[in-house]
Amino acid sequence: MKISVIIPAYNEEAIIGKCLEAVFQADKPSNPLEILVVNNASTDRTASIASSYSGVRVVTENQKGLTKARHCGQANATGDVLVYIDADTKIPKHLLQYVEKKFSDDPKLVAMSGPYKYHDWTWYGRLTLWLYHWLLVPITQLVVNRLLHKGSVFYGGNFALRKPVLDRIGGFDTGLEFWSEDTQIGRRMSREGRVRFFHRAYVFTSARRYYEEGFVRVLMRYIMNFFWDIFFHRPFTRGYKDVRKSVSA
């Protein structure tokens, strides 16, 4: 089982290096690892910085857009399992081996996701997410995933899926801009097999969007877009703002 790590990146010269360093420092899976950075219409040094790392392949998607970048990564990856993370994400050492084991142990598992741990957020932000992950996520997963079979809790900056299954369903919906793109792919993959949320499959990431747009506003947007896609199959929020300044890169 070959794993491809795919990192979409738009103007992320300030932090793409630290993201890649975390991948290189992680415990490696048993089979060869592929690392792809999708340079998504960047106008800064994102591509050149990523290319300077031995073992990293940079592919280019000239049309700006997160789903377009994800789809480009899918088209160029050679792995059996695709691990998608964001450029402001740092994976823990165990993650890649953990993902490999989950897919190896369960042939019916087609996709998985896990929580965020924000390295630069306030104490109340971290507490809110802790309560959400340990109280609301299990309930939501039970109702939406196990009982209603309508989808899964799915984080766009931290998920993995089987490439043959993703190919079979037609890949990512490139018509989506930003909101609910993660929920949508989790919902569509759930029609093909098991989609799970594992607490140990966490990643470290930045709370820069919460700082930029406001804690309550962003939290409510994520919640509303999740349920809107689950039940109506479309995002609740239109338009999005690029946030590139990392509080603590």
User: Span 109-123, mean pLDDT?
Assistant: 92
Q: Give 79-102 pLDDT, tens digit per residue.
A: 999 999 999 999 999 999 999 999
**Residue 103 predicted with pLDDT over 80:** yes
**What is the reported pLDDT for 72?**
98
Q: How far apart are CA 43 and CA 64, in angstroms?
A: 11
CB atoms near residue 68 (< 10 Å): 21
Q: Cα–Cα distance between 10 and 244 in angstroms, integer?
A: 9
Whether 5 contacts 96, CB under 8 Å: yes
Kindly indicate the confidence band of residue 71, based on its pLDDT and cuts at 50, 70 and 90: very high
Could you tell me whether strands 109-113 and 158-162 are parallel, antiparallel, or unpaired per DSSP bridges?
antiparallel
Question: Helix 123-131 to helix 215-232 angle, to the nearest 10 degrees?
Answer: 20
Domains and CATH numbers, the chain: 3-232 (3.90.550.10)
Q: What is the pLDDT of residue 45?
A: 97
- Within 8 A by CB and 6+ apart from 156, the residues are 66, 84, 86, 181, 182
Residue 246 is predicted with a pLDDT of 59
pLDDT at 159 over 90: yes
* pLDDT at residue 248 tops 80: no
The lowest-confidence range among 54-63, 99-108, 177-186 is 177-186
Instruction: Give residue 57's pLDDT.
Output: 98
Angle at 112 between CA 109 and CA 117, to 5 degrees: 155
- Separation CA 211–CA 111 (nearest Å): 30
Residue 85 has phi, psi (to 5 degrees) of -130, 165
Q: What is the DSSP string of 138-197?
A: HHHIIIIIIIS-S----BTTEEEEEHHHHHHTTS--TT--STTHHHHHHHHHHTTSEEEE
Confidence of residue 239 (pLDDT cuts 50, 70, 90): confident
Q: Which of 15-19, 175-179, 211-215, 242-246 has the lowest mean pLDDT?
A: 242-246
Strand order in the sheet with 3-9: 56-61, 33-40, 3-9, 81-85, 158-162, 109-113, 194-197
Q: Count the neighbouring beta carbons within 10 Å of the beta carbon of residue 56.
A: 19
